[in-house]
Amino acid sequence: MKNKNIFFVAFITLTCITSFVSAQISESVSPFKITEASNREGVYLSANDFTNGKVSFAHNKKNKKYKFYLNEIIHTSSIKIISGDTVIVLKKDLIFGYCDKKNTCYRFYNKVAYKIINPSEKILLYSRSSLVGGIKNNRTVTNYFFSVTANSSIYPLTKWNLKTVLCKDVLFHELLDIYFQSDNELTAYDSTNKITILNRIYETSKNKFK
């Protein structure tokens, strides 16, 4: 009975405090875009650097010759940066990721770059687009993923995977079932509180036991 009361209070609190107005995150106009004032084009050497916004081998705006070679098509093990007359080669498995000239963050995982949708939140959400189909009927498909921390494993974004990875967070599991009817809704964004609904309910589930 005590657990049921805790769960009921959590649900009522979320319902009263937070608006249910939400929408799928638009990749073209992401609410999590990092402004140029707080970040620069360059490389995150570690997950800690990413969390703290520390960029290495950054693009010096005075240097017009600056180019990333990510080798994404053939998924090679390294990237190359040309900065002026300097050529820098970095192993993908030894760095976290990078920030491009549009201030969009990416993480390398198994030699593949994943776009980070919500870089300022606890549970990170990622997207990756690929072409499927034949030559005449190919189309772009975007798949979504998550990691519990910046340096933990990346998994396909499903309710089942979230419950499996966060297996001890029972209240979070229950809130997942209340707020999300399908996996397609897991990237929904709470525009009132400026946070993904997934992270909002995760924070609520953790705070209830403090």
Q: How confident is the model at residue 84 (pLDDT cuts 50, 70, 90)?
A: confident
pLDDT on residue 31: 56
Mean pLDDT of the chain: 82
Q: For 53-81, how does the pLDDT look when each residue is reduced to its tens digit (9 = 90+)?
A: 999 998 877 777 888 888 766 678 899 99
Residue 122 has pLDDT above 80, yes or no: yes
What's 18's DSSP letter?
S
d(CA 128, CA 132): 13
Per-range mean pLDDT, top range of 5-9, 68-72, 82-86, 123-127: 123-127
pLDDT in tens, 4-56: 454 444 444 444 444 444 445 544 345 555 444 444 789 999 999 999 999 99
Cα–Cα distance, 148 to 140 (Å, whole number): 27
Cβ of 175: how many Cβ atoms within 10 Å? 22
- Please list, in sequence order, all residues whose beta carbon lies within 8 angstroms of the beta carbon of residue 113, skipping any fewer than 6 positions away: 70, 72, 97, 98, 106, 107, 128
Q: Could you tell me the pLDDT band of residue 123, with boundaries at 50, 70 and 90?
A: very high
Which has more confidence, 185 or 5?
185
Q: Which of 18-22, 86-90, 125-129, 201-205 has the lowest mean pLDDT?
A: 18-22
